Amino acid sequence: MPIVVVVGGQWGDEGKGRIVDLLARKAKVVARYSAGNNAGHTIVNDRGEFKLHLVPAGIFYPEKTCVIGNGVAVDPEVLLGEIEGLQAKSIDTSRLVLSDRAQVIMPWHRLLDQLEEARRGDAAIGTTGKGVGPCFTDKVARRGIRVADLLRAEDLVPRMRAALDYQNRVVTCVYDAEPIRFEDCFDTYIEYGKRLAPFVGDVQEIVLDAHRRGEHVLLEGAQGSLLDLDHGTYPFVTSSVPSSSSSGAALGVGIGPTDISRVVGVFKSYSTRVGNGPFPTELFDSVADQLRDHGKEFGRGEYGTTTGRPRRIGWLDAVAARYSVRFNGLAALALTRLDVLDDIATIKICTSYELDGEIIDTLPARESVLNKVRPVYEELPGWQTPTEHVRSFDDLPPQAQAFIKRVEELLGCPVDLISVGPSREQAVIVNPIF
């Protein structure tokens, strides 16, 4: 039975949480495989509206196992807070399992994230400041602390002392800041370990067991492929390796790449980006404001789920999207926020870039070049009629159908699902993904 990966195809916030919440209906296991609480996934369903940072979006269905894989960076305070928040709304969290191999975000990671952003000045990445980058840096440098280490003082003491010995040199010598005292954080983290212990388990076994039993498994990506450490707009990317490309999915829950049967890419009907870095189709006009503030009165405008920052807005970039389709090996697209375009008279799609008088149709690797390209647009007539109540492709206005067909052509991938609103039922299923 299929293991399906859901990845963000652009710069994040494409609506992955919303799509996973919909698809999870038919899955037995839903797993987060990468990133940390830099992610913010919004889910609107019959239980209410939720913003999840670490807990997989399958948690709202009874009898689904939700796992946080080894590929995730876990801030225990955030995870425990999220679990308590869900419990307070009567959501059963007893089916949540946390990998003992997941990395832990420690106080020095948050501190280093902020110090390094300040040091970069104008060249700041615009991180979420949650310590995710420094945590993954430590993972690769082999001085990270894992969930398993939190469970026993005999494991945590030496690892924390060694980490602090190194990090305090960095904090004081590189950044000229105050060191962190072991005594100020040890008790807190041992306590977190005790509270997390009931959730800790063997994630790999859970995923593979479900797979062997013929049950559907959904792997929930975080961020977007263009923030990928390898394939994204480096250095303005996130730090997980490779956090959002689908090959990271197998690594992040401990299965083989051949166990994955399908990768679904979630794309917005336009583009957004939070944080700094190249964004060829970025808009600075009233259309940007209109798209950003659609639904703002209900708290649903384009403002970061994790940081509340206004998202940068642009037209759909088919050059970047096609690149993302290719390196993710996408078999299907889920196109979200179609309804946000309902009032737009003329919709643009970037089909290629102009670079020094030449037309190119690939994403340049060099940041300085990517900053220089100018989008070449194709214009399509808008439909200027509401779509939020539409549930079948044939009932979409002809202009909306033409827009979707053009997206399929330009990206070289079928649109199997169209989202016309944030709620679970506001979807047009063209081809069932499971």
Select 42 or 99, whichever has its Cβ closest to ligand GDP. Answer: 42
Q: At what angle do helices 398-411 and 318-328 cross, to 10 degrees?
A: 60
Judged by CB under 6 A, the residue of 13, 21, 149, 416 near ligand GDP is 13
| Separation between Cα atoms, residue 188 and residue 311, nearest integer Å | 34
Select 196 or 229, whichever has its Cβ closest to Mg ion. Answer: 229
Give Cα separations from 305 to 36, 86, 207 (angstroms).
13, 17, 28
40 scored as a contact of Mg ion (CB under 5 A): yes
Select 204 or 305, whichever has its Cβ closest to Mg ion. Answer: 305
13 scored as a contact of Mg ion (CB under 5 A): yes
Residue 299 beta carbon to ligand GDP: minimum distance, rounded to whole angstroms: 8
Select 160 or 274, whichever has its Cβ closest to ligand IMO. Answer: 274
Residue 305 beta carbon to Mg ion: minimum distance, rounded to whole angstroms: 4
Where do we find the tokens 């250095």? 235
Select 211 or 337, whichever has its Cβ closest to ligand IMO. Answer: 337
Residue 238 φ/ψ region, left for φ over 0, alpha for ψ in the -120 to 50 degree band, beta for the rest: beta
Binding site partner of 312, from Mg ion, ligand IMO, ligand GDP, none, Cβ cut-off 5-8 A by kind: none
Handedness of CA 324, 241, 7, 299 (dihedral sign): negative
Per-residue interface string for the shown chain with ligand GDP, residues 77-96, x marking contact by CB under 6 A = --------------------
Judged by CB under 5 A, the residue of 305, 307, 399, 401 near Mg ion is 305
Per-residue interface string for the shown chain with ligand GDP, residues 284-313, x marking contact by CB under 6 A = -----------x----x----x--------
C-beta nearest to Mg ion: residue: 13
Question: Of these residues, 21, 41, 100, 109, which one is catalytic?
Answer: 41
Residue 148 φ/ψ region, left for φ over 0, alpha for ψ in the -120 to 50 degree band, beta for the rest: alpha
Select 101 or 300, whichever has its Cβ closest to ligand GDP. Answer: 300
User: Cis (ω within 30 of 0) for the bond into 235?
Assistant: yes
71 scored as a contact of ligand GDP (CB under 6 A): no
Catalytic site includes residue 41:
yes
| Separation between Cα atoms, residue 412 and residue 405, nearest integer Å | 10
Catalytic site includes residue 176:
no
Closest CA to 305 of 22, 69, 39: 39
Residue 294 beta carbon to ligand GDP: minimum distance, rounded to whole angstroms: 7
Binding site partner of 337, from Mg ion, ligand IMO, ligand GDP, none, Cβ cut-off 5-8 A by kind: ligand GDP
| Separation between Cα atoms, residue 305 and residue 38, nearest integer Å | 9
Residue 127 beta carbon to ligand IMO: minimum distance, rounded to whole angstroms: 4
| Separation between Cα atoms, residue 18 and residue 163, nearest integer Å | 38
Residue 194 beta carbon to ligand GDP: minimum distance, rounded to whole angstroms: 31
Select 231 or 294, whichever has its Cβ closest to ligand GDP. Answer: 294
Sole window of 123-131, 227-235, 391-399, 417-425 interacting with ligand GDP (rule: CB under 6 A):
417-425
Q: Which residues bind ligand IMO (CB under 6 A)?
A: 8, 12-13, 38-41, 125-128, 130, 132-133, 222-224, 227, 238-239, 274-275, 305
Residue 7 beta carbon to Mg ion: minimum distance, rounded to whole angstroms: 13
Closest CA to 56 of 221, 276, 186: 221
Sole window of 65-73, 87-95, 299-307, 423-431 interacting with Mg ion (rule: CB under 5 A):
299-307
Select 18 or 231, whichever has its Cβ closest to ligand GDP. Answer: 18
| Separation between Cα atoms, residue 198 and residue 95, nearest integer Å | 11
| Separation between Cα atoms, residue 422 and residue 50, nearest integer Å | 11
Judged by CB under 6 A, the residue of 99, 238, 352, 419 near ligand GDP is 419
So which residues are the catalytic ones?
A: 13, 41
Residues forming the site for Mg ion (CB under 5 A): 13, 40, 305
Residues forming the site for ligand GDP (CB under 6 A): 8, 12-18, 40-42, 44, 295, 300, 305, 336-337, 339-340, 419-422
